[in-house]
């Protein structure tokens, strides 16, 4: 069964879609089966109900029941490999 990863940014969906596409490609290169879904921030809570991980583009003080990853790393490439390693560890066996 594929892992479900949700990506959301603070305004709209363009940035989150960019990150979602990149993460899906990077995970596939590592042999990880995952569905990466970009959502508007207003739809985040319902999307996280059955998610395995959340990639946040904007910082928030909210607490989530799933592991949260730094989406800016995937957007800029800075720290991307370390963040991807952590993400793979969480979702590889879902």
Q: Which CATH architecture has domain 3-91?
A: 3-Layer(aba) Sandwich (3.40)
The values of phi and psi at residue 38, to 5°, are -90, 130
Query: What pLDDT shows up at residue 62?
Result: 87
Q: Are 48 and 65 spatial neighbours (Cβ–Cβ below 8 Å)?
A: yes
Query: What pLDDT shows up at residue 65?
Result: 95
Q: What is the mean pLDDT of each run of 10 residues along the chain (94 residues)?
A: 92 90 97 94 92 92 93 96 97 81
Domain positions in the chain are 3-91
DSSP 50: T
Secondary structure E strands in the chain: 3-9, 34-40, 53-56, 68-70
């Amino acid at each position: 069964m594929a892992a479900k990863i949700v990506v959301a940014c603070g305004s709209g969906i363009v940035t989150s879609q960019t990150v979602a596409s990149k993460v899906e490609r990077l995970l596939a290169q590592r042999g990880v089966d995952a569905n990466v879904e970009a959502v508007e921030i207003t739809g985040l809570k319902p999307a996280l109900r059955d998610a395995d991980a959340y990639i946040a583009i904007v910082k928030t003080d909210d607490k989530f029941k799933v592991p949260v990853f730094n989406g800016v790393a995937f957007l800029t490439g800075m720290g991307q490999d370390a963040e991807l390693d952590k993400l793979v560890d969480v979702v590889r066996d879902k």
